Amino acid sequence: MSTLYKGKVAFITGGNGGIGLQTALDLGKLGLRVVIGSRDAERGQAALDKLLAAKVEAEVLTFDVNQAADHQAAYDYFEQRYGKLDVLVNNAGVQLEVEDLVPMNNSSTVTPDVLRETFDANFFGPIALTQRLLPLLLESPEGRIVNVSSVLGSLTVHANPESSIYDVKLLAYDASKTAINTFTNHLAHELRHTRVKVNSAHPGWVKTKLGGKYADMEIEESSKTSVMLATLPADGPSGKFFFQESELPW
């Protein structure tokens, strides 16, 4: 187990499974203390048990990104225990439109309820949480914010007939990821004279419940981009969109 990042604290929302849990595991192996947010207390405890079994320093918070009271509770938790937060990974999110990602375009049929629920979890919730925790991130010597996005949020890639996602257009999900990318770009600009870096991560098309049965990436590979952005050096980029080492177009 590495001690390179000993003393640093990371909060990963949606950390009880899938990409979030893998991110917590890999950050923990680097020496960070990881705190996972889980809406379900039982699933959160099960995930915590896995992290502790892997010798990771870990904690769990019952946390729903859509609940303002949970944002305040998270702030109180980190402020009272650590007086700072070094890494925030906005990983929690939803995709409500299809069971499996397939070529489709639902722009004329997606319902207002699906749009609102998707934006609540993927856009409004992460922004409100980030704003609440930002004072603690500014207390860190090297604050890092990672917004887990998707290549499906790239308008440039969507507009390219040669791209692999050209025929996969889920309006609510894609638009929510385009929106969180805008937040990344704007917040990074606001914080450009601070030590906090803000970037968006495309984890890949991962074999999770959200990714569906046609996904081609194993869960063990899914955290690479988030981990890289969470541990950027002082001269690393901010306000960018990455898949692993490659910068993606907005």
Quote the DSSP letter at residue 108. Answer: T
CA proximity to 139, closest of 194, 188, 85: 85
Q: Roughly what angle, to the nearest 10 degrees, separates helices 125-138 and 68-81?
A: 20
Q: What angle do CA 100, 105, 107 make, to 5 degrees?
A: 120
**Which active-site residues does the annotation give?**
173
H or E segment to which residue 36 belongs: strand 33-38
SS3 letters across 170-237: CHHHHHHHHHHHHHHHHHHHHCCCCCCEEEEECCCCECCCCCCCCCCECHHHCCHHHHHHHCCCCCCC
Q: Determine how many CB atoms are found less than 10 A away from the CB of residue 186.
A: 12
Whole-Å CA distances, 32 to 123, 154, 214, 238: 26, 31, 33, 21
* Cβ burial, residue 227 (10 Å; 0-12/13-18/19+): buried
Hey, what are 23's tokens? 């991110």
